[in-house]
Amino acid sequence: MAQGNQVDGPTAPDPVCSIVSAERPRQENQIVQMPTEFATDQWYVVASLDELGPEPLARTVCGRHVVLFRQTDGTVVALEDRCPHRGYPLSRGTVVGDQIQCGYHGLTFDGCGTCVWAPNQGTVPSKANVTRHVVHLTGPWVWLWVGDPAQPEVDKLPLVPWMSEPGWKVLTGMEPLAARYGTLVDNLLDLSHESYLHAGYIGTPEVATTPIETSVDEDTEVVSVRRRMKAVECPPFYSATTGLQTPIDRWQDIEYHPVGCYILHVRVAPAGIEPRPDGSDPRAAHLKVLYGITPSTRGTTLDFWALCRDFARDDEAVDDGMATMQTTVVLQDVDALDLLETRLAEMDEPPEVSLKIDAGGLAARRMIHAQIARNP
Residue numbers at the binding site for Fe ion (CB under 5 A): 333
The neighbour count for residue 21, using CB atoms within 10 Å, is 16
Smaller CB distance to Fe ion: residue 110 or 333?
333
Smaller CB distance to ligand FES: residue 121 or 324?
121
Asked if 117 is part of the footprint of ligand FES (rule: CB under 6 A), the reply reads no
Smaller CB distance to ligand FES: residue 104 or 201?
104
Three-state secondary structure call for residue 69: strand
Asked if 276 is part of the footprint of ligand FES (rule: CB under 6 A), the reply reads no
CB of 130 to ligand FES, least distance (A): 10
Smaller CB distance to ligand FES: residue 81 or 303?
81
CB of 333 to Fe ion, least distance (A): 4
**Distance, CA of 157 to chain centre:** 13
Out of 46, 66, 83, 234, the only residue in the binding site for ligand FES (CB under 6 A) is 83
* Residue 333 binding: pick among Fe ion, ligand FES, none (C-beta 5-8 Å cut-off by kind): Fe ion
Smaller CB distance to Fe ion: residue 198 or 257?
198
The Cα angle at residue 321 between residues 317 and 326, in degrees rounded to 5:
150
Cα–Cα distance between 71 and 206 in angstroms, integer? 49
Cα–Cα distance between 9 and 30 in angstroms, integer? 15
Nearest CA to 37 out of 369, 362, 374, 376 is that of 369
Nearest CA to 16 out of 272, 192, 234 is that of 192
CB of 253 to Fe ion, least distance (A): 16
User: What does the chain come to in residues?
Assistant: 376
133 close to 145: Cβ distance less than 8 angstroms: yes
Out of 10, 29, 63, 86, the only residue in the binding site for ligand FES (CB under 6 A) is 86
Asked if 88 is part of the footprint of ligand FES (rule: CB under 6 A), the reply reads yes
Residues 152-191 that bind ligand FES (CB under 6 A): none
Smaller CB distance to Fe ion: residue 101 or 326?
326
* Residue 201 binding: pick among ligand FES, Fe ion, none (C-beta 5-8 Å cut-off by kind): none
The number of helix segments (H) and strand segments (E) in the chain equals 6, 20
Could you tell me the maximum CA-CA distance found in the chain, to the nearest angstrom? 77
Half-sphere exposure of 137 (CA within 13 A, CB side): 13
Smaller CB distance to ligand FES: residue 88 or 201?
88
Out of 102, 170, 264, 357, the only residue in the binding site for ligand FES (CB under 6 A) is 102
CA dihedral 312, 314, 320, 323 (to 10 degrees): 70
* Residue 9 binding: pick among Fe ion, ligand FES, none (C-beta 5-8 Å cut-off by kind): none
Nearest CA to 242 out of 321, 327, 329 is that of 321
Closest residue to Fe ion: CB criterion = 333
Q: Rule CB under 6 A: which residues touch ligand FES?
A: 83, 85-86, 88, 102, 104-107
